[in-house]
Each structure stands twice: as structure tokens, then as C-alpha cells.
Structure 1
Amino acid sequence: MITPTKGIAPDRALLAVGAQIVLQLERPLTVSQAWARLREWRQVNGHPAPLSFGWFVLALDALYSLGVLELDEDLLTVVRTDHAAPALR
């Protein structure tokens, strides 16, 4: 469910959907705006697998649990944009 499995296609895994959501949040958006932008983005970028609103909310929950986004005054904002591993020099 979080990652692709036999029954969950790669473009429907919660981490993949979460990454697609983060791409839509270059500025703070309401949940409804993020949902509309994600559906449009998936259609334009050739992701034909159906995505329910419930699955979208599960992806938001996963992102929130990972500390990637916050809901502040009814707006979703990306909190963490840095890479997991710092660059080695």
C-alpha cells in the first residue's frame, strides 16, 4: 500500500501519490485545490489508474506522518524539501 506490491501499481502506491502531491504544492493550497490539481496533473501526465479521494487523503496522511507537509490555516504547505541524505564533499 505504501510501496508498490503485486496488487498496488507503482503509480498508485502512497509514496508515489505523495510525491505527485508534493509536485503540486509549489505554493500553499487548500485540500480541494491540491486534489483538483493532482487529478489534472495525473491526466496530463498519463496516469490512467483511477485515484479515489480516500486514497488521496491516505497519501496526505503519509506525507504528514513523515513530516513532509503541514496543514496550517486550512492550507497545505511543504515543510521539508531537503534531501534525506546530505551531499558528501
Structure 2
Amino acid sequence: MITPTKGIAPQRALLAVGAQIINLLDQPMTVSQAWARLRQWRRNNNHLAPVPFWWFVLALDMLYALGLLELRDELLTVRRADATTTHSQ
């Protein structure tokens, strides 16, 4: 489900869909806008494996759980790592 399996095509794996979402979020946007952009991107790039809305939401949940995405003022935004908060030891 998260990664491709015998029953989940690589185009449908949550990591692949999540990467596509992150790639499309070049600015804050609503969930509906992100869904529309993902569907258009997948059509334009010949990703024909079906991704229903609930699968898109699962990908958003995964991105949120990984700390890569947040919802601010009803807009999806990509969390960017701040180099000043990263500590090397």
C-alpha cells in the first residue's frame, strides 16, 4: 500500500502519489485544488492507474504523518526543513 506490491501498481503506491502531491504543491492550495492538479498531472504524464479521492486523502495522511505536509488556514503547505534547526553532532 505504501510501497508497490503485487496488487498495488508503482503509480498507485502511496509514496509515489505522495511524491506527486509534494511536487505539485509549489504554493499553498486547498485540498480541492491539490486534487484537481494531481488528476491533471497524472493524465498529462500517462499515469493511468486509477487513484480515487480516498486514496489521495490516504497519501495526504501519510505526508502529514511523515511531517512533510501541514494544513494552515485551510491550505495545504509543504513543510520545509529549516537548516538552522538541524543539529549535526
Scaled by the length of structure 1, what TM-score is found? 0.89
Structure 1 residue runs of 4+, over 2 Å off?
Answer: none
State the match for 1:43 in structure 2.
43
Gapped regions of structure 2 (runs ≥ 5): 83-89
**SS of residue in 1 equivalent to 2:71:** strand
- Give the number of equivalent residue pairs: 82
Q: Partner amino acid for 1:10?
A: P
Over the residues paired in the alignment, what is the CA RMSD in angstroms?
Answer: 1.2
Q: By how many angstroms is 1:81 displaced?
A: 5.8
Q: By how many angstroms is 1:80 displaced?
A: 3.1
Matches within 5 A, 1:43-82: 43-80=43-80
Gapped regions of structure 1 (runs ≥ 5): 83-89
Which structure has the larger Rg? Answer: 2
Once residues 36 and 81 of structure 2 are traced to their aligned partners in structure 1, the CA distance between those partners, rounded to angstroms, is 22
Once residues 25 and 45 of structure 2 are traced to their aligned partners in structure 1, the CA distance between those partners, rounded to angstroms, is 17
